[in-house]
Structure 1
């Protein structure tokens, strides 16, 4: 959630440096966007976000959440990395398309994580795990604010906000591909005792319902 939300809000912070040289490294191009244009670009994320929210949970329940989560973060990471290209060479239309597709990708995250938690979180630990996982939404936003300001003023300029965030997300994707699993039964390195504990706990919860 930290990485997802950092990529979600990076433009909200970065757009200040993108459209005002005086607030960042002045060697980088300044985009002459008025307030209306900036609002349109920022809101385009949610155009896509609302579309995939409708069916994401059902798809994750049916096919497993691992690769939906990997795909969501992976697509967001790639589009984050090419954000400077979209903004400089593609203009407003390309940026709106970029952010809309990011929104579509990230629309899977909340439903998929809920599905994953339903398969991984024992009843006795569920409330704590849910709180921990979703606290990443606030933490990701909180971290991005100072980090984006620092990167915008660095030698990499405002494009580095998107390069650094995207690369970190791709590293996470690789790690999740190697170590993540849809359920305890599919995990290759979990101990038998832990696997049995989780599966038994979830079975007991289901049977009580």
Structure 2
């Protein structure tokens, strides 16, 4: 592996960083179905429209039962707050961590974030045992604070290591770690919950993450210039291709220009709409399958992971297709970003609503969810790489701003679902899916009109200032 080009090694480790961060974040979405008192015996109205228990699933997985008797009487709204509390910390830490990564490089902000996240994950069972609901909420906020550093730090690393001609392909593959993390988190967690007490799930994912931390800190570096083992050929190639990146120079983040930039505002709107739908799916799809469709815990893990496998494949296919279209000059980068953003928003919104009208036809519901979440994968070659397009010098700050604002929906989404679905009935969930549809349509319209992938003038404030000085000198000469 060490003989590979160093940008590929960095990309692989960045990919794995996202995988381990997502597994620690999302394993709770499946684990919570075994941590709470079953809804059928706690707080559900008799007139709720629900599906009968999946007898075939129960027979097929008769050996898969939870081995731990510890369960909590958390209402749907309380579960919503538990799932959303992570994103309170996640939002807060984004911008400070982005600025920190731009100043010092992304390696340590990202790796230490994963380590702290692992420590908090190990502490989860103890927090619940000795502290209860309130302490658990505080711990989840702390986990969000550390996790919020991951994407800004990774964006800075990618901006330093991935040239523009490889950006759609390698960038999407690296960021596709989110899909692989969801696949592993849902499927493996569901499998392990069928044979282990739920407490062990948190220990399992934390230990894997600590192993990643040790390997990453030993073999990865902030940029090609600081890597002691990179070949001269690769260093020269990256220096030539990433000439607009000036990390070692002191640049002041142009917040006024960023916040007044129309493409950035369109980017933020796209992120908000995408995250609202994505967070509802990642946080609440396992609960939908358990509480509404009546799946066993093993099948909850399997069927929740299946859409993310298709999403991962779709992200890779769309990345190669995007690079092909751009490199052949069939479409511009801006057109590519809009085309794949459209595919990642409109198609999933339609299929999510369709799933709610499939009723208790479990195979059809799963089919619609697979297609919906699968097409989410197009957004990596859509607007997701926009921070690298618009301002490579401030990729960390821009990713922190957009990802942080988008993560506000991670706070609102689960609470919204908890309030709207007190009985977890089909009718209640249908309202949730229609709201998701409307938000998705609005953000697509905004991005299609005002989105862009052109490097902005404020990417290098010194060049803009130099241009203004030269223009002033020319004016003075003309007047003279």
Q: TM-score, normalised by structure 1?
A: 0.91
Other-structure match for 1:10 = 27
Other-structure match for 2:167 = 126
Aligned pairs (5 A) from 1:166-177 = 166-177=206-217
Aligned pairs (5 A) from 1:123-202 = 123-154=164-195, 156-202=196-242
d(CA) in 2 for partners of 1:109, 1:181? 15
Other-structure match for 1:98 = 139
Distance 1:142 1:44, change over 3 A: same
SS in 2 for 1:54: helix
Q: 1:44-74, CA deviations, whole angstroms, 9 ceiling, x for partnerless residues?
A: 1011111012222111000111000111101
Higher Rg of the two aligned structures: 2
SS in 2 for 1:55: helix
8 Å contact kept, 1:28–1:158 = no
d(CA) in 1 for partners of 2:245, 2:179? 31
Distance 1:24 1:49, change over 3 A: farther
Q: CA RMSD in A?
A: 2.1
Other-structure match for 1:61 = 102
Q: 1:81-114, CA deviations, whole angstroms, 9 ceiling, x for partnerless residues?
A: 1111112221111111111011111111111111
Q: Alpha-carbon deviation of 1:158?
A: 0.8
Q: 1:105-129, CA deviations, whole angstroms, 9 ceiling, x for partnerless residues?
A: 1111111111111101112211211
Q: Alpha-carbon deviation of 1:200?
A: 2.1
Residue of 120, 123, 129 corresponding to 1:79: 120
8 Å contact kept, 1:53–1:107 = yes
Q: Alpha-carbon deviation of 1:20?
A: 4.3
Q: TM-score, normalised by structure 2?
A: 0.41
Residue 45 (str. 1) matches residue 62 (str. 2):
no
Higher relative contact order (CA 8 A, sep 6+): 1
Give runs of ≥4 in structure 1 deviating > 3 Å. Answer: 205-209
Name the count of aligned residue pairs.
Answer: 207
